[in-house]
Amino acid sequence: MDEPEGLARTTTQLAATVVAATLLLIGLLGFVPGVTTGVGDITWAGPGTDARMLGWIDVSVLHNVAHIAAGAVGLAMSRTLAAAEMFLIGSGLLAVLLAVYGLVIDAETGSNFMPIDYESSWLHLLAGVTLVFLGVALPRRDDGPTSATYR
């Protein structure tokens, strides 16, 4: 029996797909009661939201939509090797910038537009450094297809 036809994926593309799908899932789960406490009290943006994902990270509609949008863009960019690499590095740098911003602003003011709390700043810093590392460390050439394909 022949192998199913599909688009062969490199390791970099597969990593970008996994990251993008994770971002998409995080954004969607931010609206799910049970996963996010206080969903009924979620605000559009800024400080003062009572919605917390896993009871730990402050979320808002803007915060969730940003994750959903980043995930969708990442899925689209994962289709080519160059774009997948660009997505990993670019989203990593954006996460690092967001983390630094969250650590230097006063979380109780209007400057906190996402909302960004202390815990999520460190989480974004860790994720951002990891994504930049993946974008730089994974092969910059077509390393051949992985076993993951899609139609």
Give domain status of residue 146, yes or no: no
Give domain status of residue 151, yes or no: no
Give domain status of residue 143, yes or no: no
The pLDDT of residue 149 is 47
Give domain status of residue 115, yes or no: yes
Count: domains in the chain: 1
How far from the centroid of its chain's Cα atoms is residue 62's Cα? Answer: 14
Please count the other Cβ atoms lying within 10 Å of the Cβ belonging to residue 58: 24
Residue-level pLDDT, tens digit, the chain, 151 residues: 334 344 557 899 999 999 999 999 999 999 999 898 888 888 888 777 788 888 788 888 999 999 999 999 999 999 999 999 999 999 999 999 999 998 998 877 777 778 888 888 999 999 999 999 999 999 876 655 555 544 3
Give domain status of residue 34, yes or no: yes
Give domain status of residue 26, yes or no: yes
Burial of 68-96, coded b for 16+ CB within 10 Å and e otherwise, reads bebbebbbebbebbebbbebbbbbbeebb
pTM of the model: 0.83
Beta strands in the chain (DSSP E): 7-8, 36-37, 52-53, 57-58, 149-150
Contact indicator for 10, 81 with CB cutoff of 8 Å = yes
Length in residues, the chain: 151
What are the residues facing 36 on neighbouring strands? 33, 53
| Residues 34-59: tens digit of each pLDDT | 898 888 888 888 777 788 888 788 88
Give domain status of residue 144, yes or no: no
Structure tokens at 8: 């062969």
Range of the domain at 49: 10-138
Structure tokens at 65: 């939509």
Percent helix, strand and coil across the chain, each rounded to 5?
Answer: 55, 5, 40
Give domain status of residue 50, yes or no: yes
